[in-house]
Protein backbone atom coordinates (compact mmCIF):
# COMPACT_ATOMS: atom_id res chain seq x y z
CA UNK A 1 0.00 0.00 0.00
CA UNK A 2 1.41 3.38 -0.99
CA UNK A 3 0.27 6.26 1.16
CA UNK A 4 0.18 9.96 0.44
CA UNK A 5 1.37 12.54 2.98
CA UNK A 6 -2.23 13.61 3.70
CA UNK A 7 -3.19 10.01 4.45
CA UNK A 8 -0.30 9.70 6.87
CA UNK A 9 -1.26 12.91 8.69
CA UNK A 10 -4.79 11.66 9.14
CA UNK A 11 -3.56 8.61 11.01
CA UNK A 12 -0.59 10.09 12.82
CA UNK A 13 -2.39 10.48 16.12
CA UNK A 14 -3.82 6.95 16.03
CA UNK A 15 -0.38 5.71 15.08
CA UNK A 16 1.12 7.27 18.19
CA UNK A 17 -1.63 5.73 20.31
CA UNK A 18 -1.05 2.29 18.86
CA UNK A 19 -4.54 2.36 17.37
CA UNK A 20 -3.75 1.39 13.76
CA UNK A 21 -3.93 -2.08 12.22
CA UNK A 22 -0.60 -3.79 11.52
CA UNK A 23 -0.78 -3.42 7.72
CA UNK A 24 -1.56 0.29 7.98
CA UNK A 25 1.26 0.70 10.46
CA UNK A 26 3.68 -0.99 8.07
CA UNK A 27 2.56 1.25 5.20
CA UNK A 28 2.94 4.36 7.35
CA UNK A 29 6.38 3.35 8.46
CA UNK A 30 7.41 2.79 4.90
CA UNK A 31 6.21 6.27 3.96
CA UNK A 32 7.78 7.90 7.01
CA UNK A 33 11.09 6.31 6.20
CA UNK A 34 11.36 8.16 2.93
CA UNK A 35 9.53 11.40 3.79
CA UNK A 36 11.32 14.01 5.81
CA UNK A 37 8.26 16.24 6.13
CA UNK A 38 6.10 13.53 7.59
CA UNK A 39 8.73 12.25 9.97
CA UNK A 40 9.26 15.81 11.20
CA UNK A 41 5.55 16.03 11.89
CA UNK A 42 5.47 12.68 13.60
CA UNK A 43 8.33 13.51 15.91
CA UNK A 44 7.06 16.99 16.61
CA UNK A 45 3.68 15.56 17.60
CA UNK A 46 5.41 13.05 19.80
CA UNK A 47 7.30 15.88 21.46
CA UNK A 48 4.08 17.76 22.08
CA UNK A 49 2.60 14.72 23.82
CA UNK A 50 5.76 14.25 25.85
CA UNK A 51 5.96 17.87 26.98
CA UNK A 52 2.35 18.24 28.03
CA UNK A 53 2.39 14.84 29.70
CA UNK A 54 5.03 16.03 32.14
CA UNK A 55 3.79 16.32 35.66
CA UNK A 56 5.16 19.78 36.26
CA UNK A 57 3.36 21.30 33.32
CA UNK A 58 0.47 22.72 35.34
CA UNK A 59 1.51 23.60 38.86
CA UNK A 60 -1.30 24.49 41.26
CA UNK A 61 -0.81 27.83 42.99
CA UNK A 62 1.02 27.94 46.31
CA UNK A 63 -1.11 26.82 49.26
CA UNK A 64 -3.61 25.04 47.02
CA UNK A 65 -3.54 21.83 49.00
CA UNK A 66 -3.89 23.55 52.40
CA UNK A 67 -6.84 25.61 51.23
CA UNK A 68 -8.46 22.50 49.79
CA UNK A 69 -8.06 20.59 53.05
CA UNK A 70 -9.45 23.47 55.05
CA UNK A 71 -12.51 23.57 52.83
CA UNK A 72 -13.00 19.83 53.21
CA UNK A 73 -12.74 20.04 56.98
CA UNK A 74 -15.40 22.72 57.04
CA UNK A 75 -17.73 20.56 55.03
CA UNK A 76 -17.24 17.13 56.54
CA UNK A 77 -19.87 15.96 58.99
CA UNK A 78 -18.52 15.50 62.51
CA UNK A 79 -17.19 12.04 63.23
CA UNK A 80 -18.92 11.92 66.63
CA UNK A 81 -22.31 12.57 65.11
CA UNK A 82 -21.93 9.68 62.73
CA UNK A 83 -20.65 7.27 65.36
CA UNK A 84 -23.52 8.24 67.65
CA UNK A 85 -25.97 7.61 64.84
CA UNK A 86 -24.60 4.10 64.49
CA UNK A 87 -24.83 3.50 68.24
CA UNK A 88 -28.47 4.55 68.27
CA UNK A 89 -29.24 2.21 65.38
CA UNK A 90 -27.44 -0.71 67.04
CA UNK A 91 -29.11 -0.05 70.39
CA UNK A 92 -32.52 0.05 68.74
CA UNK A 93 -31.83 -3.25 66.98
CA UNK A 94 -30.74 -4.84 70.25
CA UNK A 95 -33.90 -3.65 71.97
CA UNK A 96 -36.07 -5.20 69.30
CA UNK A 97 -34.18 -8.49 69.42
CA UNK A 98 -34.28 -8.37 73.24
CA UNK A 99 -38.02 -7.96 73.38
CA UNK A 100 -38.47 -11.17 71.41
CA UNK A 101 -36.06 -13.05 73.58
CA UNK A 102 -37.92 -12.15 76.77
CA UNK A 103 -40.63 -14.61 75.76
CA UNK A 104 -38.17 -17.51 75.89
CA UNK A 105 -37.52 -19.93 78.74
CA UNK A 106 -35.74 -17.55 81.06
CA UNK A 107 -36.92 -14.02 81.71
CA UNK A 108 -33.68 -12.34 80.64
CA UNK A 109 -31.04 -13.84 78.48
CA UNK A 110 -27.94 -13.53 80.62
CA UNK A 111 -27.64 -12.39 84.21
CA UNK A 112 -25.85 -9.07 84.47
CA UNK A 113 -26.87 -8.47 88.07
CA UNK A 114 -25.07 -5.92 90.15
CA UNK A 115 -28.04 -4.95 92.30
CA UNK A 116 -31.30 -6.77 92.68
CA UNK A 117 -33.13 -3.45 92.42
CA UNK A 118 -31.59 -2.37 89.17
CA UNK A 119 -31.87 -5.45 86.97
CA UNK A 120 -34.34 -7.63 88.75
CA UNK A 121 -35.67 -10.12 86.21
CA UNK A 122 -32.78 -12.57 86.08
CA UNK A 123 -33.44 -16.16 86.79
CA UNK A 124 -37.19 -15.86 87.33
CA UNK A 125 -38.72 -18.74 85.34
CA UNK A 126 -40.56 -17.20 82.39
CA UNK A 127 -43.59 -19.49 82.72
CA UNK A 128 -44.10 -19.04 86.46
CA UNK A 129 -47.44 -17.43 87.21
CA UNK A 130 -47.08 -14.22 89.15
CA UNK A 131 -49.37 -11.54 90.52
CA UNK A 132 -49.20 -7.87 89.67
CA UNK A 133 -51.09 -4.90 91.03
CA UNK A 134 -52.42 -2.51 88.38
CA UNK A 135 -50.71 0.54 89.92
CA UNK A 136 -47.75 -1.34 91.42
CA UNK A 137 -44.20 -1.68 90.12
CA UNK A 138 -43.39 -5.23 91.16
CA UNK A 139 -44.69 -8.74 90.57
CA UNK A 140 -45.14 -11.25 93.34
CA UNK A 141 -45.62 -14.89 94.11
CA UNK A 142 -49.17 -15.73 95.27
CA UNK A 143 -49.56 -15.00 98.97
CA UNK A 144 -46.70 -12.51 99.23
CA UNK A 145 -47.45 -10.04 102.07
CA UNK A 146 -46.12 -7.14 100.03
CA UNK A 147 -48.82 -7.13 97.37
CA UNK A 148 -50.08 -3.53 97.40
CA UNK A 149 -53.54 -2.97 96.01
CA UNK A 150 -55.31 -6.22 96.61
CA UNK A 151 -58.50 -5.13 94.78
CA UNK A 152 -56.91 -4.74 91.33
CA UNK A 153 -54.71 -7.73 90.82
CA UNK A 154 -53.92 -9.66 87.67
CA UNK A 155 -52.24 -13.02 87.22
CA UNK A 156 -49.85 -13.59 84.35
CA UNK A 157 -46.63 -15.41 83.44
CA UNK A 158 -43.44 -13.80 84.73
CA UNK A 159 -42.27 -13.14 81.16
CA UNK A 160 -45.34 -10.98 80.49
CA UNK A 161 -44.96 -9.13 83.77
CA UNK A 162 -41.39 -8.30 82.75
CA UNK A 163 -42.52 -7.14 79.32
CA UNK A 164 -45.03 -4.82 80.97
CA UNK A 165 -42.29 -3.27 83.02
CA UNK A 166 -42.86 -4.93 86.40
CA UNK A 167 -39.85 -5.98 88.43
CA UNK A 168 -39.75 -8.97 90.82
CA UNK A 169 -40.48 -8.40 94.46
CA UNK A 170 -37.17 -8.55 96.33
CA UNK A 171 -38.81 -10.53 99.09
CA UNK A 172 -40.89 -13.28 97.54
CA UNK A 173 -38.68 -13.59 94.42
CA UNK A 174 -35.48 -13.42 96.42
CA UNK A 175 -34.40 -16.99 95.86
CA UNK A 176 -34.22 -16.53 92.07
CA UNK A 177 -32.27 -13.35 92.44
CA UNK A 178 -29.89 -14.75 95.01
CA UNK A 179 -29.14 -17.78 92.87
CA UNK A 180 -28.11 -15.51 90.05
CA UNK A 181 -26.06 -13.37 92.33
CA UNK A 182 -24.09 -16.41 93.45
CA UNK A 183 -23.55 -17.44 89.90
CA UNK A 184 -22.12 -14.02 89.06
CA UNK A 185 -19.99 -13.82 92.15
CA UNK A 186 -18.41 -17.22 91.44
CA UNK A 187 -17.76 -16.10 87.95
CA UNK A 188 -15.71 -13.01 88.76
CA UNK A 189 -14.39 -14.34 92.02
CA UNK A 190 -14.50 -10.96 93.71
CA UNK A 191 -17.52 -11.34 95.97
CA UNK A 192 -18.52 -7.70 95.51
CA UNK A 193 -22.11 -8.46 94.76
CA UNK A 194 -22.74 -10.55 97.84
CA UNK A 195 -21.67 -7.77 100.16
CA UNK A 196 -23.64 -5.06 98.38
CA UNK A 197 -26.70 -7.31 98.25
CA UNK A 198 -26.28 -7.98 101.94
CA UNK A 199 -26.35 -4.23 102.67
CA UNK A 200 -29.32 -3.71 100.45
CA UNK A 201 -31.41 -6.30 102.23
CA UNK A 202 -30.62 -4.97 105.72
CA UNK B 1 4.17 3.85 22.49
CA UNK B 2 2.44 5.97 25.13
CA UNK B 3 0.05 3.07 25.63
CA UNK B 4 2.13 1.12 28.16
CA UNK B 5 2.93 4.19 30.15
CA UNK B 6 -0.66 5.27 30.32
CA UNK B 7 -3.60 3.14 31.17
CA UNK B 8 -2.19 0.44 33.42
CA UNK B 9 -2.61 1.35 37.01
CA UNK B 10 -0.95 -0.43 39.83
CA UNK B 11 -3.21 -3.21 41.22
CA UNK B 12 -1.89 -2.69 44.76
CA UNK B 13 -2.78 1.00 44.54
CA UNK B 14 -6.21 0.13 43.32
CA UNK B 15 -6.76 -2.30 46.17
CA UNK B 16 -5.66 0.33 48.63
CA UNK B 17 -8.10 2.78 47.07
CA UNK B 18 -10.95 0.32 47.38
CA UNK B 19 -10.13 -0.15 51.04
CA UNK B 20 -10.01 3.61 51.62
CA UNK B 21 -13.34 4.10 49.85
CA UNK B 22 -14.95 1.39 51.99
CA UNK B 23 -13.72 3.03 55.17
CA UNK B 24 -14.88 6.47 54.08
CA UNK B 25 -18.30 5.07 53.31
CA UNK B 26 -18.35 3.56 56.80
CA UNK B 27 -17.92 6.99 58.30
CA UNK B 28 -14.15 7.21 58.66
CA UNK B 29 -14.06 10.44 56.72
CA UNK B 30 -10.46 11.32 57.52
CA UNK B 31 -9.34 8.71 54.97
CA UNK B 32 -10.69 10.90 52.20
CA UNK B 33 -7.60 13.10 52.43
CA UNK B 34 -5.42 10.10 51.73
CA UNK B 35 -7.63 8.98 48.87
CA UNK B 36 -7.43 12.26 46.98
CA UNK B 37 -3.83 13.24 47.76
CA UNK B 38 -2.40 11.69 44.57
CA UNK B 39 -5.02 13.44 42.43
CA UNK B 40 -5.16 16.96 43.79
CA UNK B 41 -2.85 18.33 41.08
CA UNK B 42 -4.65 16.51 38.33
CA UNK B 43 -7.98 17.88 39.40
CA UNK B 44 -6.52 21.36 39.43
CA UNK B 45 -4.86 21.07 36.04
CA UNK B 46 -8.01 19.68 34.46
CA UNK B 47 -10.02 22.59 35.80
CA UNK B 48 -7.32 25.02 34.71
CA UNK B 49 -7.16 23.63 31.19
CA UNK B 50 -10.87 24.16 30.74
CA UNK B 51 -11.19 27.50 32.53
CA UNK B 52 -7.79 29.04 31.73
CA UNK B 53 -7.82 31.02 34.93
CA UNK B 54 -6.11 30.15 38.22
CA UNK B 55 -8.71 31.44 40.63
CA UNK B 56 -11.62 29.74 38.88
CA UNK B 57 -9.61 26.56 38.50
CA UNK B 58 -8.87 26.41 42.21
CA UNK B 59 -12.45 27.05 43.17
CA UNK B 60 -13.77 24.46 40.75
CA UNK B 61 -11.14 21.94 41.89
CA UNK B 62 -12.35 22.36 45.48
CA UNK B 63 -15.97 22.03 44.42
CA UNK B 64 -15.25 18.89 42.44
CA UNK B 65 -13.36 17.21 45.28
CA UNK B 66 -16.07 18.13 47.76
CA UNK B 67 -18.66 16.70 45.41
CA UNK B 68 -16.67 13.48 45.14
CA UNK B 69 -16.71 13.24 48.93
CA UNK B 70 -20.43 13.82 49.19
CA UNK B 71 -21.22 11.31 46.46
CA UNK B 72 -18.60 8.71 47.31
CA UNK B 73 -21.31 6.06 47.66
CA UNK B 74 -22.19 6.58 43.98
CA UNK B 75 -18.74 5.57 42.82
CA UNK B 76 -18.79 2.25 40.98
CA UNK B 77 -15.78 0.02 41.35
CA UNK B 78 -15.63 -0.85 37.65
CA UNK B 79 -14.26 2.63 36.89
CA UNK B 80 -10.97 3.97 38.14
CA UNK B 81 -11.42 6.43 40.98
CA UNK B 82 -9.19 8.92 39.14
CA UNK B 83 -11.39 8.77 36.05
CA UNK B 84 -14.50 9.30 38.11
CA UNK B 85 -12.93 12.24 39.88
CA UNK B 86 -11.77 13.80 36.60
CA UNK B 87 -15.26 13.41 35.12
CA UNK B 88 -16.74 15.28 38.05
CA UNK B 89 -14.11 17.99 37.56
CA UNK B 90 -14.88 18.31 33.85
CA UNK B 91 -18.58 18.70 34.61
CA UNK B 92 -17.99 21.28 37.31
CA UNK B 93 -15.65 23.26 35.08
CA UNK B 94 -18.06 23.15 32.16
CA UNK B 95 -20.88 24.36 34.37
CA UNK B 96 -18.76 27.24 35.62
CA UNK B 97 -17.83 28.12 32.09
CA UNK B 98 -21.38 28.08 30.88
CA UNK B 99 -22.45 30.27 33.76
CA UNK B 100 -19.73 32.82 33.26
CA UNK B 101 -19.25 32.78 29.52
CA UNK B 102 -22.76 32.11 28.37
CA UNK B 103 -22.74 34.96 25.93
CA UNK B 104 -19.25 34.62 24.61
CA UNK B 105 -18.99 32.99 21.23
CA UNK B 106 -17.04 29.81 20.93
CA UNK B 107 -13.79 30.05 19.01
CA UNK B 108 -14.12 29.50 15.30
CA UNK B 109 -12.27 26.22 15.55
CA UNK B 110 -15.20 24.73 17.45
CA UNK B 111 -17.44 25.16 14.45
CA UNK B 112 -15.11 23.60 11.97
CA UNK B 113 -15.96 20.34 10.35
CA UNK B 114 -14.54 17.67 12.60
CA UNK B 115 -14.09 15.26 9.77
CA UNK B 116 -12.19 17.79 7.65
CA UNK B 117 -8.56 16.97 7.17
CA UNK B 118 -6.06 19.04 8.99
CA UNK B 119 -3.06 20.16 7.02
CA UNK B 120 0.04 20.96 9.03
CA UNK B 121 1.34 24.43 8.26
CA UNK B 122 4.83 24.09 9.52
CA UNK B 123 7.29 21.45 8.54
CA UNK B 124 10.15 22.60 10.67
CA UNK B 125 12.22 19.71 11.83
CA UNK B 126 11.76 19.35 15.57
CA UNK B 127 13.30 16.14 16.58
CA UNK B 128 14.69 16.67 20.00
CA UNK B 129 13.33 18.11 23.17
CA UNK B 130 16.12 19.50 25.27
CA UNK B 131 15.71 17.85 28.68
CA UNK B 132 15.77 21.14 30.51
CA UNK B 133 13.07 22.65 28.32
CA UNK B 134 10.38 22.63 30.96
CA UNK B 135 12.68 24.13 33.56
CA UNK B 136 12.26 27.40 31.74
CA UNK B 137 9.19 29.18 32.88
CA UNK B 138 8.82 30.99 29.56
CA UNK B 139 8.58 27.61 27.86
CA UNK B 140 5.85 26.51 30.24
CA UNK B 141 4.14 29.79 29.59
CA UNK B 142 4.26 29.25 25.81
CA UNK B 143 2.86 25.75 26.21
CA UNK B 144 0.03 27.02 28.38
CA UNK B 145 -0.74 29.79 25.90
CA UNK B 146 -0.75 27.40 22.96
CA UNK B 147 -3.12 25.05 24.75
CA UNK B 148 -5.35 27.92 25.85
CA UNK B 149 -5.67 29.06 22.24
CA UNK B 150 -7.30 25.80 21.15
CA UNK B 151 -11.07 25.58 20.95
CA UNK B 152 -12.64 24.08 24.04
CA UNK B 153 -13.58 20.72 22.58
CA UNK B 154 -10.02 20.15 21.39
CA UNK B 155 -8.57 21.38 24.62
CA UNK B 156 -10.74 19.08 26.73
CA UNK B 157 -9.84 15.97 24.77
CA UNK B 158 -6.16 16.82 24.70
CA UNK B 159 -6.04 17.53 28.42
CA UNK B 160 -7.76 14.33 29.46
CA UNK B 161 -5.83 12.15 27.08
CA UNK B 162 -2.35 13.67 26.96
CA UNK B 163 -2.10 15.65 30.18
CA UNK B 164 -4.14 13.37 32.48
CA UNK B 165 -3.28 10.17 30.62
CA UNK B 166 -6.79 8.80 30.49
CA UNK B 167 -7.40 6.12 27.86
CA UNK B 168 -9.42 6.98 24.76
CA UNK B 169 -12.44 5.15 26.21
CA UNK B 170 -12.15 6.93 29.55
CA UNK B 171 -11.81 10.29 27.82
CA UNK B 172 -14.91 9.57 25.75
CA UNK B 173 -16.86 8.61 28.85
CA UNK B 174 -15.72 11.61 30.86
CA UNK B 175 -16.72 14.00 28.11
CA UNK B 176 -19.84 12.20 26.97
CA UNK B 177 -18.71 11.82 23.35
CA UNK B 178 -17.92 8.85 21.12
CA UNK B 179 -14.45 7.33 20.94
CA UNK B 180 -14.40 8.25 17.23
CA UNK B 181 -14.89 11.90 18.19
CA UNK B 182 -12.14 11.65 20.75
CA UNK B 183 -9.73 10.33 18.11
CA UNK B 184 -10.63 12.99 15.55
CA UNK B 185 -10.37 15.83 18.04
CA UNK B 186 -7.19 14.45 19.47
CA UNK B 187 -5.56 14.37 16.04
CA UNK B 188 -6.45 17.99 15.44
CA UNK B 189 -5.42 19.12 18.89
CA UNK B 190 -2.04 17.45 18.64
CA UNK B 191 -1.33 18.73 15.15
CA UNK B 192 -2.44 22.25 15.99
CA UNK B 193 -0.21 22.31 19.05
CA UNK B 194 2.67 21.00 17.04
CA UNK B 195 2.16 23.76 14.48
CA UNK B 196 2.07 26.33 17.23
CA UNK B 197 5.12 25.08 19.06
CA UNK B 198 7.41 23.63 16.43
CA UNK B 199 8.87 26.93 15.22
CA UNK B 200 9.83 27.89 18.76
CA UNK B 201 10.88 24.60 20.22
CA UNK B 202 12.48 23.35 17.04
CA UNK B 203 14.37 26.56 16.41
CA UNK B 204 14.48 29.31 18.97
CA UNK B 205 11.94 31.21 20.95
CA UNK B 206 13.11 34.58 19.71
CA UNK B 207 11.37 33.99 16.41
CA UNK B 208 7.95 35.59 16.49
CA UNK B 209 5.36 33.09 17.59
CA UNK B 210 2.25 32.94 15.53
CA UNK B 211 -0.05 32.35 18.49
CA UNK B 212 0.31 35.81 19.88
CA UNK B 213 -2.93 37.04 21.39
CA UNK B 214 -5.94 37.07 19.15
CA UNK B 215 -4.55 35.21 16.20
CA UNK B 216 -5.66 31.77 15.18
CA UNK B 217 -3.84 30.20 12.30
CA UNK B 218 -6.48 27.57 11.56
DSSP string, A59-123: PPPTTHHHHHHHHHHHHSPPHHHHHHHHHHHHHHHHHHHHHHHTTSSBSSSS---S-TTTSTTTT
Chain-chain contact of B143 with A53 (C-beta, under 8 angstroms): no
**pTM, to two decimals:** 0.60
d(CA B81, CA B78): 9
ipTM: 0.74
Per residue in B106-140, pLDDT tens? 444 444 445 556 777 766 666 556 556 666 677 78
Q: How confident is residue B98, by pLDDT bands cut at 50, 70 and 90?
A: confident
Chain-chain contact of A68 with B65 (C-beta, under 8 angstroms): yes
Q: What are phi and psi of B113, to 5 degrees?
A: -65, 120
Query: Which of B32, B41, B158 is the closest to A72 by Cβ?
Result: B32
Q: Do residues A20 and A28 make contact, with C-beta atoms less than 8 angstroms apart? A: yes
Helices (H) and strands (E) in chain B, counts: 10, 0
pLDDT (average), residues B170-177: 90
Q: What does the radius of gyration of chain B's CA atoms come to, in whole angstroms?
A: 19
Q: How confident is residue A129, by pLDDT bands cut at 50, 70 and 90?
A: confident
Asked if residue A198 has pLDDT above 80, the reply is no
Domain ranges of chain A: 5-56, 129-201
Beta-bridged to residue A154, according to DSSP, are A132
Residue A143's CB is within 10 A of a number of other CB atoms, namely 8
Q: Which residue of B has its CA nearest to A52?
A: B163
For residue A126, CA distances in Å to A120, A160, A169, B52 come to: 13, 8, 15, 76
Domains of chain B, each with CATH number or no CATH: 10-100 (1.10.1740.10), 120-203 (1.10.10.10)
Chain-chain contact of A72 with B69 (C-beta, under 8 angstroms): yes
SS3 A2: coil
Partners of B147 on chain A (C-beta within 8 Å) are: 52
- By the CB < 8 Å criterion, does B41 face chain A? yes
Q: What are phi and psi of A153, to 5 degrees?
A: -105, 150
DSSP string, B190-215: HHHHHHHHHIIIII-TTSPPTT-TT-
Q: Do residues A162 and A102 make contact, with C-beta atoms less than 8 angstroms apart? A: yes
pLDDT (average), residues B206-215: 38
Per residue in B44-87, pLDDT tens? 989 998 888 889 999 999 999 999 999 998 888 778 898 899 99
Chain-chain contact of A55 with B202 (C-beta, under 8 angstroms): no
Q: Positive or negative CA dihedral for A57, A62, A66, A68?
A: negative
Residue A94: the pLDDT is 62
Backbone region of residue A66 per phi and psi (left: phi > 0; alpha: psi in -120 to 50; beta: other values): alpha
Q: How confident is residue A175, by pLDDT bands cut at 50, 70 and 90?
A: confident
pLDDT (average), residues A57-67: 87
Q: How confident is residue A110, by pLDDT bands cut at 50, 70 and 90?
A: very low
Residue A107: the pLDDT is 42
Q: What are phi and psi of A11, to 5 degrees?
A: -105, 5
Residue A4's CB is within 10 A of a number of other CB atoms, namely 11
Partners of B201 on chain A (C-beta within 8 Å) are: 47, 51
SS3 A154: strand
SS3 A140: strand
Amino acid sequence: MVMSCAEVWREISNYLDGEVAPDLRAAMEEHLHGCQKCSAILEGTQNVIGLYGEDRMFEPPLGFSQRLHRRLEENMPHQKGTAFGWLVAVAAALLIVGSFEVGDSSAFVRPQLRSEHAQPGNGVPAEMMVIVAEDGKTFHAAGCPFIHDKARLRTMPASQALREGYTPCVRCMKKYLTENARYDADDDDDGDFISSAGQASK
Amino acid sequence: MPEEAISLDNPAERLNEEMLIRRIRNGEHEFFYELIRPYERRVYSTAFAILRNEADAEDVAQEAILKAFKHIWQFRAEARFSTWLISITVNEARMRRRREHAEIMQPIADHQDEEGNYTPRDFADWREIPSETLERSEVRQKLAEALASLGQKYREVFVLRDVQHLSIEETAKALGVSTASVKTRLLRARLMLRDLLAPGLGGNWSSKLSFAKGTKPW
